[in-house]
Structure 1
Amino acid sequence: MEINENAALVVIDVQKGFEQEFWGRRDNPDAERNIAALIDVWQETGRPVVFVRHDSSQKGSPLRTGTEGNEFKDVVEERRGKGAGPEVLVTKSVNSAFYGEPDLDAWLKGVGAGQIVIVGIQTNMCNETTARMGGNLGYDVLFPLDAMHTFDLAGPFGWAQTAEELTRATAVSLHGGRFARVVTTEDVVKGAVSAA
């Protein structure tokens, strides 16, 4: 797998609020370990890293601004500012990181990143929305499915899907619809190291 030397890693919403019981059962207990591995490789090779934080204004939200839940999990916070390459914090209040501050598309263009790797929380929410927009904007989007997680979810008509079912649906929609290439952390790490 070819990873561009200026490919940007976009780390979405890895926040303490997602550890609360509010969300229910999650999938992929290895997500944080894989996210950490990717951040480490990106920082070691001097590639650009984007840390995205969801600043909720909704009352009672586990991600509400000013609460502990709004803070990054330690696995991310302890890595911020440690890389040799460019880094930015993007804050948002909607699903897509492309609708945050500062403008993600402008920042990516400024560092010459035409390829983005999306990781974080949640697979079928902010990660998928950002991937779809990235694909529409012309980025080569890589989506390492094992470096993210989501939660079981209830929908209309009494329907419900497990986190694993939602993850699979997201992967099929993104990959099959050519919004992104769904890959593994191992493949991305190998590609990033061999290209460095």
Structure 2
Amino acid sequence: MNEQPVALLIIDMQRGMSDPAIGERNNPDAETNIQRLLAKWRETGWPVVHVRHISRTPGSPFWPGQPGAEFQPALAPLVNEHVVEKNVPCAFTQTGLERWLHVRGIKRLVIVGVSTSNSVEATVRTSGNLGFDTQVVADATFTFAKQDHAGVYRSADEVHAMSLANLEGEYARILYVEHVLNEVALTHD
């Protein structure tokens, strides 16, 4: 096993994120790709961190106790996997995640989940700024269409691509599932 543990950080894969009312999204294979990575992490025994957004806004699908706040069943944490609850987009803000990682000697993070342009981007920026070797798996993340600041409609693919471009190099490396799985296999041969 590799001397340096690599944590898989799964962001906001909750039931509310699969609600069609949220709007047009990209990467319909994201959940399947996350499941593939999760299975490999469990097989290798590397640490898995599940991040869950808990809203402070009553009526939100992510309000405590609402079905939307629950993890998607196929991606639910096992009892030995760490769960981080956050109230803002960044998984490091007021959660103890940084300390949890440092105590375990984890310096490298592979980040997947939703949404690329919100919680993933916020978490990755902080991760990079804190000095973690951060990787984002482009085909294991997704986001939603939205209007830009000038009022121009941007498809989910466009928003996703721009978020990844914002992160590439300065905060993280952008990889794809096959690359990550091959890299994990090489460290365990």
Amino acid in the other structure paired with 1:190:
N
Unaligned runs of 5+ in 2: none
Paired with 2:15 and 2:32, the residues of 1 have a C-alpha distance of: 15
Paired with 2:81 and 2:4, the residues of 1 have a C-alpha distance of: 15
- Structure 1 length-normalised TM: 0.90
Which residue does the alignment assign to 2:57?
58
Percent identity of equivalent pairs: 37
- The 4+ residue runs of structure 1 with deviation greater than 3 A are none
Asked whether the 8 Å contact 1:4–1:195 carries over to 2, the reply is no
CA offsets per residue over residues 138-158 of structure 1, 9 Å max, x none? 000000100011111124332
Higher helix share: 1
1:109 counterpart = 2:102: yes
1:87 counterpart = 2:81: yes
1:19 counterpart = 2:18: yes
Which residue does the alignment assign to 2:138?
145
Q: Secondary structure at the match of 2:168?
A: helix
- Structure 2 length-normalised TM: 0.93
Unaligned runs of 5+ in 1: none
Structure 1 residue 115: deviation in Å?
0.4
Q: Secondary structure at the match of 1:148?
A: strand
Which residue does the alignment assign to 2:183?
191
CA offsets per residue over residues 92-137 of structure 1, 9 Å max, x none? 0100000143x01001111111000000110111011100000000
Paired with 1:189 and 1:120, the residues of 2 have a C-alpha distance of: 17
Paired with 1:126 and 1:56, the residues of 2 have a C-alpha distance of: 13
Task: Report 1:116-131 matches (<5 A).
Answer: 116-131=109-124
Q: Secondary structure at the match of 1:57?
A: coil
Q: Secondary structure at the match of 1:98?
A: coil
| More moved, 108-117 vs 59-68 | 59-68
CA RMSD of aligned residues (A): 1.5
Asked whether the 8 Å contact 1:8–1:50 carries over to 2, the reply is yes
Q: Secondary structure at the match of 1:61?
A: coil
